Structure 1
Amino acid sequence: MKVNAYKELIIAMVRTGILGFGGGPSVIPLIRHEAVSRYKWIEDDEFGEILAIANALPGPIATKMAAYLGYREKGALGAIVGVLAHILPTCLSMVVLLTVVNVLSYSAAVAGMIAAVMPVIAVMLGLMAYEFAAKAVKGLGKILGCILFIVTFLLLQTIALHPAFVIVIFLAYGTMHFKLKNKWKNKNSKSKGLSV
């Protein structure tokens, strides 16, 4: 464990809190960059698992991720530091900017800045979704990966099932996937052995 773990945690969470424009989904790629690429606290696979579990739990995803990363690095105090470092800059900014929000809300410059940031967030989310999809296809295979993508789309868009239920369903499936796969392989190898 590095001596500067608290410093790194504070810098990473302040950076994600300030640059995470637009709420939870826009912060996820930033947190992933800090935790996986920059500081290498966790591997990409573990980040995907944490993200899935955080999505299944109630509350803001960014604070859950900050709490987990802080806890993983420095225990309970690290979790508190991570959450505070993530939310305090934004809270303080809101208090300061509240006095001028009426003026800024009618400004064409502010509306232009918001419009310019939206495509950046969309690209970041798209890139992260592509990377997770590539890992899913690698682990599940192209056919099963596509089938599960279609099932997920139908559950979310056609049936309009709450995303938390979809995540729980796929977490349950994920726990059984490799057991079923090994059982299928063993069954096939036994049947081939008998036919020879």
Structure 2
Amino acid sequence: MWKRQTRLFMAFLRVGLFGFGGGPSMIPLVRREAVQRHAWLDDNDFADVLAIGNTLPGPIVTKMAGYIGYRVGGPLGSINAVVAVTVPLILAMIAMLGLYARHGDQRWVQGMGQGVIPVVMVMMAQLTLDFFAKSRAGLGWLATTILGIAAGGLIYGLGLHPGLVIGALLIAALLRPMRRPSAKESTR
């Protein structure tokens, strides 16, 4: 039990320590730990956790840490993962705000924030490509492209919150009638 809790703590501590840029930029780090390194979730489960987490209020990474921690280590695992991901963020925020308050007008401080942006951009692009491939495998490229364009239009064109778009898709999927297998399919 303690070995599992230690692995869980260290995984989310890494996310908290290296998650520059806040919530969305930390999602690829959570995926790396939960799916690739420890295999606590597969890509489908991760996508579900991400989708549901986006519909709930609050920071996405703490919601994901709480769920994954609970799944891996129960209530203690949930608390463990949330503490591991948030404590480094709190300490880093205090340190960075102190640094910025003292030296914010200097170029090297301004350059620190600008230097991280390309790295976060690459991480988000990789996550986008991975999700596109996963969606294309399940829905096909045409449906994935149409849904992606429609979601982009609703979010960026109309200014709808992503949680509303995801929530609407989840409700539509739940209300969609189940396709009954034909007589040929059920005899195979």
TM normalised by structure 1 equals: 0.85
Residue 61 of structure 1 and its aligned partner are, at CA, apart by 0.3
Residue 186 of structure 1 and its aligned partner are, at CA, apart by 4.2
Instruction: Note the 1:156-175 alignment, pairs <5 A.
Output: 156-175=155-174
Instruction: Specify the alignment match of 2:152 in structure 1.
Output: 153
SS at match of 1:4: helix
Instruction: Note the 1:3-82 alignment, pairs <5 A.
Output: 3-82=2-81
Q: Which has the larger radius of gyration?
A: 1
The runs of 5 or more residues in structure 2 that have no matched partner are: none
In structure 2, how many angstroms separate the alpha carbons of the residues matched to 1:125 and 1:11? 23
Could you tell which deviates more after superposition, 7-16 or 154-163?
Answer: 154-163
TM normalised by structure 2 equals: 0.89
Cα deviation code 1:22-43 (max 9, x no counterpart)? 1100000000000011111111
Residue 142 of structure 1 and its aligned partner are, at CA, apart by 1.8
Tell me: CA distance 1:178–1:11, structure 2 relative to 1, closer, same or farther (3 Å): farther
Aligned: 1:113 with 2:112:
yes
Tell me: CA distance 1:150–1:13, structure 2 relative to 1, closer, same or farther (3 Å): same
Instruction: Note the 1:65-144 alignment, pairs <5 A.
Output: 65-144=64-143
Q: Which has the higher contact order (CA 8 A, sep 6+)?
A: 2
Residue 92 of structure 1 and its aligned partner are, at CA, apart by 2.3
In structure 1, how many angstroms separate the alpha carbons of the residues matched to 2:164 and 2:35? 27
SS at match of 2:163: helix
Residue 93 of structure 1 and its aligned partner are, at CA, apart by 3.1
Q: Which amino acid aligns with 1:20?
A: G
In structure 2, how many angstroms separate the alpha carbons of the residues matched to 1:62 and 1:26? 10
In structure 1, how many angstroms separate the alpha carbons of the residues matched to 2:93 and 2:160? 34
The runs of 5 or more residues in structure 1 that have no matched partner are: 190-196
Q: Is the 8 A contact 2:100 2:109 kept in 1?
A: no
